[in-house]
Structure 1
Amino acid sequence: MASEGSIHHTMFLLVVLPALLFHLGAGQPPESPGRIAVIGAGIGGSAVTHFLQQQFGAQVQIDVYEADRVGGRLATTTVNNQQYESGSASIHSLNLHMQGFVKLLGLKHRKEVAGKNAIFSGEHLVLEETDWYLLNLFRLWWHYGISFLRLQMWVEEIMEKFMRIYKYQAHEYAFSTTEELLRSLGGEHFVNMTQKSVAESLQGIGVSQRFIDDVISAVIRASYGQSVAIPALVGAMSLAGTPGNMWAIEGGNKLVCSGLLKMTKANVIHGKVIAICLHNSEKRPVYEVQYEQEDSIGSDFYDLVIIAAPLHKAGYPISFLNFQLPIQQPNGTYHRVVSSVVHGYLNSSFFGFPDPKLFPFSSILSVESPDSSFHSLESLCPVNVSVGFRRKPPQEAAVWRVLSAHPLDRKELKTLFKSYYSVQVVEWQAFPSYGSSQSLPQIIMHDGLYYLSGVEWAASSVEMSAVAAKNVALLAFNRWYELNEKIDQPDLMHKLKTEL
């Protein structure tokens, strides 16, 4: 028989404690966020919109602010009623998020059109690709010894470790800083790769200086318009993109962005965000997003705000009102790359082929040289490739994309082309101006304010933005519901192996 004291004790547990817990909010699942703002509708912004809806559910209203065009660096230009990629032209085959988006949206890979590459010193071709794989390998060995094999092993090891992120994200693990994300993939070595140049890293594994000067510099200039002084992790991402590993989307790569926004039924607001203002509330902070739209100023209120636009990019200033940011400012700005889409006749004589019929290359990369006015020169295929499509023979007018540090003047155009019908120029602040010892921006800027685009200071690519988007969506979800065991967990590879 229970004593009177124990009865009173039981009554306390049954009546008073639940009331106390209710009063303190314990045991009550927090409400899901009502409204989320995403600033920027490039691949990062459109991907995070999709991932946020995956995590929080279809009932969450998501507004996407875009000052320019949906797609960002995934952009096209029109020549003779055909569209061509003017931005990021190809995607790596290991990019699992992009592969997933293509399948989810019912898109298709564009038919591959074969082409050969060459590297130009500013005066002559230093390396020419042939149709024979073994001959290409022999030429690499003859010129550079086993440097290309050392490079390949280095890149494969890095990419193998990078692929771990997909397993982590499939199990809904997130990281509060870019450093923690990199550390989970490859330990301190991966973090250090953001502070050491690609040239220094490759020299450390025995890659020859000549191979770095001839080949590595040309690939990095074609990718980022910068030198081999860029961080090793950025360089590894660039060097992983060999031609056989790349693909594109039929109809244009930008269809991923517009497709994800349409599928999530996001409300796209074509306006430029000028300020984010903190408003205190009883439970959680509320953020007011202020924006310009044509000649008017508008604003709205949100529980979460994701910035998927580069804060360090000229012309994209956002004021933060009523709170102090912990964001670290990288020591630099965004790098300008000029994309010139030229419809004309290539001057093959400039590259050592007086007879244009004998010019066999669809792409020419340029090493760092005072004699070279361009980073890369590429014959473009339209975004819609028909079954019987073939590249134009070199003696016919074709559409070429020239990447350079500045707009090409008339003399430079006349050097590269015998004649041309049209030139369309797009200036991109495409990537950070990379240097050594640059700090990585914070992801968590405030309790409900996240910075997605800061990941570009570690490495910049379409898939890196998609990975960062998934991480931010998981981080916001896990922090909102206080699932701390899913954030910054050490030794995740071992943890997942033991769980499975």
Structure 2
Amino acid sequence: MSPGGLSLRALLILGLCHSGRRSLASAPKGQPGRIAVVGAGIGGSATAFYLRQEFGAGVKIDVFEPGAVGGRLATVKIGDHEYETGGSVIHPLNLHMKHFIEKLGIPPRKDVPSKMAIFDGKELTFEESNWFIVNFLRLLWRYGLHFLRMQMWVESVLDKFMRIYQYQQYGYSFSTVERLLHAMGGDGFLTLMNQTLEETMMAEGFSQVFINDIVAPITRVNYGQSVRINGFVGAVSLAGADSGLWAVDGGNRRVCSGLLYHSKSELISARVTSISVKVRPSKTGAAASFYEVNYVGESGSAHSLYDIVVIATPLHQGKSDISFSGFSPTIPTHYPGRYHQTVSTLVHGVLNVSYLGSSEPASEFTVSDVLTTDSKGSAINSLSSIDPVHVPQGYSRPPASHAKVWKVFSPQPLSQEQLRHMFLSWEVASETRWLAYPSYRPPHRKTPPFILHNRLYYLNAVEWAASAMEMSAIAARNVALLAHHRWHGEKKKVDQEDLHTRLRGEL
């Protein structure tokens, strides 16, 4: 990476700290009165935060959430500690997430050293050493320079990806996922959406052996899917194997509750059932349109009118049943495509190291993260020793000969027989079934737009490019900017081309 690239990123981080102040300081007249956000996961809570920045203190923001704040960022308590069951790691270049914890005053979680191994269903084909040079030489001996070339390829994608922070710092927004991706990476990013990661890497000269042995285990642990996912989400997945990954002290969901607090939103514990267009007379006598949000909470059914609505929950089968009425053209209740199931099982028990084909004594087995190849009949996608969301002072991860908490990702719930193969004994086995992310199957279908209607927006369209905490935060910033610009008729800030060339000389 060039020194110029590093200085640009430093400037972007500084710029993010000041983003949004323009709107608070000099908000124009004619602000919306009420805004609704449907969903209080990372996308919905970030949207509320950015909407407050853009529209100022005078707007009432309601956030609807029938479950726990955090959505797919969730924890479960085992014994005296809580553990992540949902989204668990954040990339060091995820500038929005970094800005959030700085704004909220939440520290990153204390890092605990870890070791990785790869399991082919019978034995460990690679086991990380404590020594970097040993790992490097092993990979060099088996795969040549493929591993270094993979890091360079991922970094080239990340360098283009980082442009979005510059565009958003200057207030630019995009009406579709395709336009957003094109602004970042041109036709190259759109091409990545229309071919598999396997096809992309083969075209770049990577061997099939390297893809099967190294790349597939990474996509399986991050997305529960093979290298036949699209190339863009594949690059995001490979970035998730970088060093320097971090998490939030106390659990990543703390970011969501903190953003809602700072947005001064009202959290409404209710499930939204339908949204319709209503026309009402305004103070001037002219007709004005509003969105009627119908919802069901503990007190029964109710409805409220809003000027702007942002849907921050997936409009797909199994994820939502919000119906839409009075819209022309019609808005579907469910968009095409499906969400992929991943089962997260947290087991407090003693690992059976022989299940992994290891002959080491359990007391000497120090691997903490076991990734798996895409072998036929594989029951699990990964097996990881995990630490509490708050790492206490003096904490050290117990050896495999002791009972500790393991997280198992699998495509289907684990049977008692499968658990008996993996663990010598266990006290707790807590299962969470996630429809965690889309099933990524190129060629890429046209994603739903960010704009469903005049002032009705859909945040989760971005997940069909890639599902990640930072992708949701980027979409939240984009939708807040989009809603602000379109409310005030600022067309020059929407869907502008060649922004990279235009802004390159301004930093």
Distance in 2 (alpha carbons) for counterparts of 1:285 and 1:115: 56
Query: Structure 1 pair 436/429, CA: closer, same or farther in 2 (3 Å)?
Result: same
Distance in 2 (alpha carbons) for counterparts of 1:217 and 1:379: 20
1:285·1:448 contact (CA, 8 Å) conserved in 2? no
Deviates more, 1:66-75 or 1:105-114: 66-75
Alignment of 1:242-257 (within 5 A): 242=241, 244-257=243-256
Aligned to 2:497: 490
Query: Structure 1 pair 277/318, CA: closer, same or farther in 2 (3 Å)?
Result: same
1:53·1:264 contact (CA, 8 Å) conserved in 2? yes
1:313·1:429 contact (CA, 8 Å) conserved in 2? no
Distance in 2 (alpha carbons) for counterparts of 1:378 and 1:176: 39
Counterpart selection for 1:407 from 413, 419, 425: 413
Deviation at 1:499, TM superposition (A): 4.5
1:331·1:439 contact (CA, 8 Å) conserved in 2? no
Q: Within the alignment, does 1:292 sit opposite 2:296 as a pair?
A: yes
Q: Within the alignment, does 1:308 sit opposite 2:315 as a pair?
A: no
Counterpart selection for 2:366 from 356, 360, 381: 360
Letter matched to residue 496 of structure 2? Q
Counterpart selection for 1:424 from 423, 430, 440: 430
Q: Within the alignment, does 1:436 sit opposite 2:442 as a pair?
A: yes
Cα offsets for 1:263-314 (capped at 9, x unmatched): 2221111111110010124465200000111361111000000000000141
Query: Structure 1 pair 148/283, CA: closer, same or farther in 2 (3 Å)?
Result: farther
Distance in 2 (alpha carbons) for counterparts of 1:206 and 1:327: 43
Distance in 1 (alpha carbons) for counterparts of 2:244 and 2:435: 26
Deviates more, 1:45-54 or 1:287-296: 287-296
Aligned to 1:376: 382
Q: Which SS does the other structure have where 1:392 is aligned?
A: coil
2:124·2:358 contact (CA, 8 Å) conserved in 1? no
Deviation at 1:495, TM superposition (A): 1.2
Distance in 2 (alpha carbons) for counterparts of 1:154 and 1:331: 31
Distance in 1 (alpha carbons) for counterparts of 2:429 and 2:289: 50
Counterpart selection for 2:343 from 335, 338, 343: 338
Cα offsets for 1:31-51 (capped at 9, x unmatched): 101000000000000000000
The structure with the largest alpha-carbon Rg is 1
Deviates more, 1:50-59 or 1:369-378: 369-378
Query: Structure 1 pair 215/322, CA: closer, same or farther in 2 (3 Å)?
Result: same
Deviation at 1:154, TM superposition (A): 1.1
Deviation at 1:324, TM superposition (A): 3.2
2:292·2:303 contact (CA, 8 Å) conserved in 1? yes
2:123·2:358 contact (CA, 8 Å) conserved in 1? no
Letter matched to residue 289 of structure 2? P
Alignment of 1:223-238 (within 5 A): 223-238=222-237
Cα offsets for 1:383-406 (capped at 9, x unmatched): 111231100111100000000011
Q: Which SS does the other structure have where 1:473 is aligned?
A: helix
Distance in 2 (alpha carbons) for counterparts of 1:441 and 1:416: 42
Aligned to 1:205: 204
Q: Which SS does the other structure have where 1:206 is aligned?
A: coil
Distance in 1 (alpha carbons) for counterparts of 2:45 and 2:129: 39
Letter matched to residue 443 of structure 1? F
Q: Which SS does the other structure have where 1:360 is aligned?
A: coil
Aligned to 1:134: 133
Deviation at 1:448, TM superposition (A): 0.4
Letter matched to residue 397 of structure 2? R
**What runs of 5+ residues in structure 2 fail to find an aligned partner?**
1-27, 281-285
Query: Structure 1 pair 327/181, CA: closer, same or farther in 2 (3 Å)?
Result: farther
2:364·2:399 contact (CA, 8 Å) conserved in 1? no
Q: Within the alignment, does 1:177 sit opposite 2:171 as a pair?
A: no
Aligned to 1:151: 150
Aligned to 2:395: 389
Distance in 2 (alpha carbons) for counterparts of 1:203 and 1:295: 57
Q: Which SS does the other structure have where 2:111 is aligned?
A: coil
Distance in 1 (alpha carbons) for counterparts of 2:234 and 2:326: 39
1:73·1:87 contact (CA, 8 Å) conserved in 2? yes
Deviation at 1:369, TM superposition (A): 1.5
Letter matched to residue 300 of structure 1? S
The alignment covers a number of residue pairs equal to 473
2:251·2:390 contact (CA, 8 Å) conserved in 1? yes
Q: Which SS does the other structure have where 2:482 is aligned?
A: helix
Aligned to 2:454: 447
Deviation at 1:371, TM superposition (A): 3.9
Q: Which SS does the other structure have where 1:323 is aligned?
A: coil
TM-score (norm 1): 0.92
2:275·2:291 contact (CA, 8 Å) conserved in 1? yes
Deviates more, 1:162-171 or 1:314-323: 314-323
Distance in 2 (alpha carbons) for counterparts of 1:86 and 1:498: 44
Aligned to 1:464: 471
Cα offsets for 1:38-74 (capped at 9, x unmatched): 0000000000000000000011110000122100111
2:345·2:409 contact (CA, 8 Å) conserved in 1? yes
Distance in 2 (alpha carbons) for counterparts of 1:461 and 1:126: 29
Cα offsets for 1:46-104 (capped at 9, x unmatched): 00000000000011110000122100111100000210111111111111000000000
Cα offsets for 1:237-269 (capped at 9, x unmatched): 010012523001111110000011112221111
Letter matched to residue 322 of structure 2? I
2:324·2:331 contact (CA, 8 Å) conserved in 1? no
Aligned to 1:24: none
1:35·1:302 contact (CA, 8 Å) conserved in 2? yes
Query: Structure 1 pair 409/32, CA: closer, same or farther in 2 (3 Å)?
Result: same
Q: Which SS does the other structure have where 2:159 is aligned?
A: helix
Cα offsets for 1:451-486 (capped at 9, x unmatched): 000100011110000000000000000011011111
Q: Which SS does the other structure have where 1:202 is aligned?
A: helix
Q: Which SS does the other structure have where 2:260 is aligned?
A: helix
Query: Structure 1 pair 330/219, CA: closer, same or farther in 2 (3 Å)?
Result: farther
Distance in 2 (alpha carbons) for counterparts of 1:237 and 1:243: 10
Q: Which SS does the other structure have where 1:83 is aligned?
A: strand
Distance in 2 (alpha carbons) for counterparts of 1:303 and 1:160: 37
Distance in 2 (alpha carbons) for counterparts of 1:367 and 1:324: 48
Letter matched to residue 306 of structure 2? Y
Distance in 2 (alpha carbons) for counterparts of 1:325 and 1:260: 34
Distance in 1 (alpha carbons) for counterparts of 2:252 and 2:397: 20
Query: Structure 1 pair 301/395, CA: closer, same or farther in 2 (3 Å)?
Result: same
Deviation at 1:498, TM superposition (A): 4.1
Q: Which SS does the other structure have where 1:280 is aligned?
A: strand
2:222·2:240 contact (CA, 8 Å) conserved in 1? no
Aligned to 1:9: none
**What runs of 5+ residues in structure 1 fail to find an aligned partner?**
1-28
Distance in 2 (alpha carbons) for counterparts of 1:407 and 1:187: 41
